[in-house]
Amino acid sequence: MCAFTRVPAASSRRSSITVPSSNPAQQNRALAANKIRVPVLAVAGALWLGEAMRGGIGPLAANFEMLSIPDCAHFPPEERPAELAAALRDHFARCP
């Protein structure tokens, strides 16, 4: 998982900027300790990230579901729009 951290911005017009973290493992542990509480649906094409996304996002969410779409690479909306739309409808129907 790619990790970033917020640092004060040099410009007075911006309060902070996001830059790569110098210690991503430490940041990931901190994020995982305070899990996302809303239902999370991660979608990936099986030919691209597929199930690998589960390990990066799953630990950060208390209510996590992974959809790896078969015969799909990196752009499910274009490659498998019907499967993606059905998954989104089902996911949002289960959300409180």
Report the candidate in 16, 23, 17 with the shortest Cα–Cα distance to residue 1.
23
pTM strictly above 0.75: no
Q: For residue 32, give every residue at least 6 positions away whose Cβ sits within 8 Å of its Cβ, in sequence order, or none.
A: 59, 60
> What counts of helices (H) and strands (E) characterise the chain?
4, 4
Q: Sign of torsion, CA 9 3 37 80?
A: positive
Half-sphere exposure of residue 69, counting CA atoms within 13 Å on the CB side? 22
| Residue-level pLDDT, tens digit, the chain, 96 residues | 445 555 555 555 555 556 666 777 787 788 778 889 999 999 999 998 888 888 888 888 999 999 999 999 999 999 999 999 999 999 999 987
